Structure 1
Amino acid sequence: MTRLGLLGGTFDPPHYGHLVLAEQARIQLGLDRVLFLPAAQPPHKPAAEVTPIAHRLNMLARAIAGNPFFEISRADIDRPGPHYTVDLLMVLREQHPEATFFFLMGADSLVDLPRWRDPHRLIRMTWLAVMPRPSYVVHMPLLEQALPGIGERIVWLDAPFLDIASHDLRRRVRSGGSIRYLVPPEVEAYIYAHGLYRDAGSPPS
């Protein structure tokens, strides 16, 4: 049976934190592939705040190039909204009926999971492969109270902690700061070549 890692996000931009999580999960869980699932339009973000999908796809393709176990899936992009994770999993189940899913996330997302759309159904459809984050304490009794049985669906990953956030990278570019060593060089070059995350008042790079 195929073991698939699922890593969703806006990837705006993709960074080394995403890649480390995906690679460590692949090794530790014996995954056949990791599917990167760029979000078409996250339901919690206004459209104006999200970079057009063509740019995000181009950056992501550059970020994962060279790793034969990484693949981009258009499953979320090509379906009508609203775009909730539980609905995306239903689409992926139709595409990969024999696969075992491992949904990759950070501890911050795990803490927020009870507020997601239909989380009870979500945890029945996939294992949760979670990367601890020092700044987020997961109080399992409270989580178990909100989502009974969730503890049996969690696999904790042992991965280097990289506290990189896409919103911080956008801020750095906007203010003329450096994102070198935070994103792959090909992604950095793409950002500057296309003038992403800058406005009229941004200092030159």
Structure 2
Amino acid sequence: MRIGLMGGTFNPVHLAHLHIAEEAREACALDRVVFIPTGDPPHKPLAGEVPFAQRSRMVALAISGNPFFELSLVEGERAGKSYSIDTIRVFRERFPQDELSFIIGSDSFLEIGQWYRFREIFASCNLIVVERPGKRISDPVEALPVAIRAEFSYTSGARRLDHTAGTSVQFLSGCPLDISSSEIRELAAAGRSIADLVPPQVAAYITEQGIYNTCRSQKRQ
């Protein structure tokens, strides 16, 4: 089975996240995509300190209509910082016979050299890199951290990097939805509509729970 792993704070999950996941699933013939909300982000504080339970619930609502999408609470169940390599290892242990692909946007890929033990990520699973607006990767080799470029060979026609460990990095072009979670948080905090940015059930949950009202009150102080 081919399993796609898509991590993120999902604060909140939005339509671009769903588009990226579906594009990766179709292009790479994935059997399912597992959404993995971050427990404790390692690189920066979680905006608004939205609890893991609420972020996970938003993901569950967002993917409820897609039979190929699943939710994993693995990072909320583990203490300490949520490092991608640790999550990948958990899935590798649980599904040793399956082919794992870690799905990220091109914006994240351009910063992967700053990730914890990033070299091990490339050797542990495939990567599927989906282009985000304003973050086009014209030269995949140049986008790699310098320290590991010699470990890859590039097939330009397929837009794929092959690693010496037998894994690969597949580049997919085009996620036209220019949406960010920070934009949604700001709109929600200002009491403005987010209906065209998130699934309707997520918008309703955000309003019902008043999730980003704290941001609004902080701005008024």
Normalising to structure 1: TM-score of the pair? 0.91
| Number of aligned residues | 202
Structure 1 unaligned regions, length at least 5: none
1:3–1:32 CA contact under 8 A, matched in 2: yes
Cα RMSD over matched residues? 1.9
2:128–2:172 CA contact under 8 A, matched in 1: yes
How many angstroms does 1:47 deviate by? 5.3
Please say if 1:124 is aligned against 2:139.
no
Matches within 5 A, 1:55-204: 55-138=54-137, 139=139, 140-141=141-142, 143=144, 145-148=146-149, 149-150=151-152, 151-152=161-162, 153-199=168-214, 201=217
Distance 1:6 1:75 in 2: 12
Normalising to structure 2: TM-score of the pair? 0.85
Structure 2 unaligned regions, length at least 5: 153-160, 163-167
Distance 2:169 2:84 in 1: 17
Partner SS for 2:96: coil
How many angstroms does 1:142 deviate by? 5.3
Larger RCO (alpha carbons 8 Å, 6+ apart): 1
Distance 2:68 2:200 in 1: 20
Q: Can you list the C-alpha shifts for 1:136-183, whole angstroms capped at 9, x where unaligned?
A: 243532525232235322111244321111111001111222211110
How many angstroms does 1:48 deviate by? 6.6
Cα 1:48/1:188, change in 2 over 3 Å: closer
Partner SS for 2:213: coil
Cα 1:55/1:144, change in 2 over 3 Å: closer
What one-letter code is carried by the residue in structure 2 that aligns with 1:157? L
